[in-house]
Amino acid sequence: MRFAVIVFPGSNCDIDMFHAVKDELGAEAEYVWHDEESLDRFDGILLPGGFSYGDYLRTGAIAQFSHVMDGVKKAAEAGKPVLGVCNGFQILQEAGLLPGAMRRNESLKFICKQEALKVVNNETMFSSSYGKDEEIIIPIAHGAGNYYCDEETLKQLEEENRIIFRYKNNPNGSVSDIAGIMNAKGNVLGMMPHPERAVSELLGSADGLKLFQSIVKSWRENHVLSS
């Protein structure tokens, strides 16, 4: 499986993401600059964290207009797995690929620490290697990770089982403790915690590796069925 690691001006977690999928997962990975339009040669798309375009206007607001986002949207429409982490999640929201918005943390402070999450839905291409309601440790690092959506959207997310991860001890004020959600089609996941920083016990947790393993497992199963 071949992953594209999208790099925007201001990305700073792209190297972590590349290391996670290439060195720890053993998959192919390639850095893709924001002005590239075609992502057809890739099987999965990864949007890493950082401060794309300096977070001017709003987090992710300018990055959504990058040429590469046409390729990201095309990949999403084709059913390929698309993962946006932290700033990547914010970009997916701004691009209309995921609902809701990000507000400043309730504390109005940047938070960087290990955080306990609950796997709410383990029947997705991103979470099938986890157990139902499994508690995992994934680090967070953000100043605007307070997920917000209106009551109608929240109801829809819950009814369609699209909330994948919830915080055990909500660190930022997110609605319904939401840490990660997916689209209706089930192939686009956005999450504020950083699974790419939790792929080895040397980093304090290897719980994030299962997320990437889930993606590869799903891809292999679909690849076998279609071949």
Say if CB 96 and CB 127 are below 8 A apart.
Answer: no
CA distance 117 to 216: 22
**Measured CA distances, 108 to 135, 151, 173 (Å):** 27, 24, 10
CB atoms within 10 A of CB 173: 16
Say if CB 188 and CB 82 are below 8 A apart.
Answer: yes
Spell out the alpha helix ranges (H) of 12-168. 14-19, 68-77, 87-94, 151-159
CA distance 185 to 176: 22
Q: Which residues contact 150 (CB under 8 A, 6 or more apart)?
A: none
How wide is the angle at C-alpha 155 spanned by C-alphas 184 and 193, nearest 5°? Answer: 65
Active centre residues (catalytic): 86, 194, 196
